[in-house]
Structure 1
Amino acid sequence: MQVLVAEDDEHINEMLVYRLETAGYDVISFQNGDECWEYLKDTDEPPDALLLDVMMPGMDGFDVLRRLREYDFDPEPAVIIVSGRGLEQDVLTGFDLGVDDYVTKPFSPSEVVARLRRILQ
């Protein structure tokens, strides 16, 4: 299964990629929302899931999610927001936009992988 990680913090990005790869996932990563969206709209085979940060340079994670949900992907990828924005309104915005889960930073990479595995079953 393929997972796309969009996270601007290089350390967190590398940690997520490493943990997902060791769990057996094929991982693509980006450090800004614009590159993430360009990849998604141009691919013939979307990833099975996305891990999106909200606060990224260029397009933020919520904007990527809005566009993703408007696009005609079949099947539609699962989405987990992984963000430092943990206010109730941020979490509610994520769920209103159709996220499958919302994880606030700091987080356990193993927990994120477990949540992803549950969603992809």
Structure 2
Amino acid sequence: MKVLVIEDEPDMAALLAATLEPAGYELRLERSGDEVEEILAEYDPQVAIVDVMLFGSQADGYEVVRRIRATEGHESTLVVVLTALVGSEYERRALEAGADIYMGKPFSPLELLNRIRQAEILTD
């Protein structure tokens, strides 16, 4: 299964890779969501993990999620928002943008993996 990770923090991207790749997921790591439509067309992921605060990117994570949802063929892509912005307002904004799963940082890599697997089972 292909996973697109949009995360500007190298250590966090490395943690996600160390969590998901050994579990059999194929990853594409991007530091910005500015070209997300082109990336979706080229890579065609089933899962997207998006950080909200993307420094150096013109689009924040909420906008990236909206753009994923608006891209033909990706309306049902599993979208996980993983962010240091924790609280009900941030969660509401992520879900309204179209996220399926909202997780605050710090997070449990095992919980992330389990939530992705659980969503896979529900959509099969």
Whether these two folds match at TM > 0.5 is yes
Structure 1 spans left out of the alignment, 5+ residues: none
Q: TM-score, normalised by structure 1?
A: 0.90
Q: Deviations over 1:35-84 (max 9, x none)?
A: 444412x42x5201011000003111111111111121156210010000
Describe the shift of the 1:32–1:48 C-alpha distance in structure 2 as closer, same or farther (beyond 3 A): same
Describe the shift of the 1:88–1:74 C-alpha distance in structure 2 as closer, same or farther (beyond 3 A): closer
Structure 2 spans left out of the alignment, 5+ residues: none
Describe the shift of the 1:26–1:33 C-alpha distance in structure 2 as closer, same or farther (beyond 3 A): same
Q: TM-score, normalised by structure 2?
A: 0.88
Does structure 1 residue 17 correspond to structure 2 residue 24? no
Provide the rounded CA distance (Å) in 2 between the counterparts of 1:110 and 1:88. Answer: 23
How far the C-alpha of 1:99 sits from its partner, in A, is 1.1
Q: Identity over the aligned pairs, expressed in percent?
A: 33
Does structure 1 residue 104 correspond to structure 2 residue 104? yes
**Alpha carbons 1:100, 1:119 under 8 Å: kept:** no
Q: Residue 46 of structure 1 corresponds to which residue in structure 2? A: 44
Moved over 3 A (4+): 35-38
Counting only pairs closer than 5 Å after superposition, residues 1-121 of structure 1 correspond to structure 2 as 1-40=1-40, 42-43=41-42, 46-56=44-54, 57-58=56-57, 59-73=59-73, 76-121=76-121
Describe the shift of the 1:50–1:104 C-alpha distance in structure 2 as closer, same or farther (beyond 3 A): same
Count how many residue pairs are aligned between Structure 1 and Structure 2: 119
Provide the rounded CA distance (Å) in 1 between the counterparts of 2:89 and 2:44. Answer: 29
